[in-house]
Structure 1
Amino acid sequence: MPLRTATPATPAIGRRAGRSVLGLALAGLTAALLTGCSLEEASCRGGEYPVLAVGNSGSACVPDGEEPPAGYARYPEGKVPEHVGDKWDEYWSTRTLDENGDIVKVPEAG
């Protein structure tokens, strides 16, 4: 009886593994899109909310349930940035709140 030589299985395993990784990546992307999750970078992590520096264009993240630190204020309702580069993130890059809580242009550096 002649000896049979096995063919290497590595190429097939590599292809299957590659397909599995691609399948998982596509499944994750689909789940994110279907659940409304965004692939954009969030302004703050979960359990935090963004606050605006008074008098300049700075911002920070504060743990939920805590008040903003001195020199910071909550964004006006309906004008809170949710993701880096979104409409409100861009808006607040040139505006801020003054000491009275009014929206003003960011002062020129100098």
Structure 2
Amino acid sequence: MHRVRIRSAVAVLALTLLPVTGCNTRERVCRSQEYPVKAVGNRTGAACVPKDQQPPSGYVRYPAGQEPVYIDDEWYRYWQTKVVDEHGTVVEQ
């Protein structure tokens, strides 16, 4: 019984300190060496591209400052409802 209490206390302490340590539990859209791109002509299509490469055919970069960083952040949700052309311009659906 004593061991269960110690384990519970350690778990509570770890969960309490998680925000203080700077750990982020949010899931990133891409890895740190990649950037997100939007699929042309598709509302939900997206991919991640290595930072030293251009987007592949059929994809465009997000406008500067409007890139989704985390799953379900403001820009992630915004771009899930938009379709873009080959120039990255939002088109009416």
**2-side partners of 1:60 and 1:94: how far apart?**
16
**Structure 1: gaps spanning 5 or more residues:** 1-10
Give the counterpart of 1:15 among 1, 5, 30.
Answer: 5
Residue 27 (structure 1) shift = 1.4
Identity of aligned residues (%): 39
> Structure 1 length normalisation: TM-score?
0.70
Alignment partner of 1:46 is 2:36: no
Deviations 1:20-78 (A, max 9, x none): 1221222123223xxxx543322112222110011112101112212211111110111
Give the counterpart of 2:46 among 56, 59, 79.
Answer: 59
> Structure 2 length normalisation: TM-score?
0.81
Residue 98 (structure 1) shift = 0.8
Residue-pair matches, total: 92
**Structure 2: gaps spanning 5 or more residues:** none
Deviations 1:55-109 (A, max 9, x none): 112101112212211111110111111122222112212213212332223x4xx
RMSD (CA atoms) = 1.8
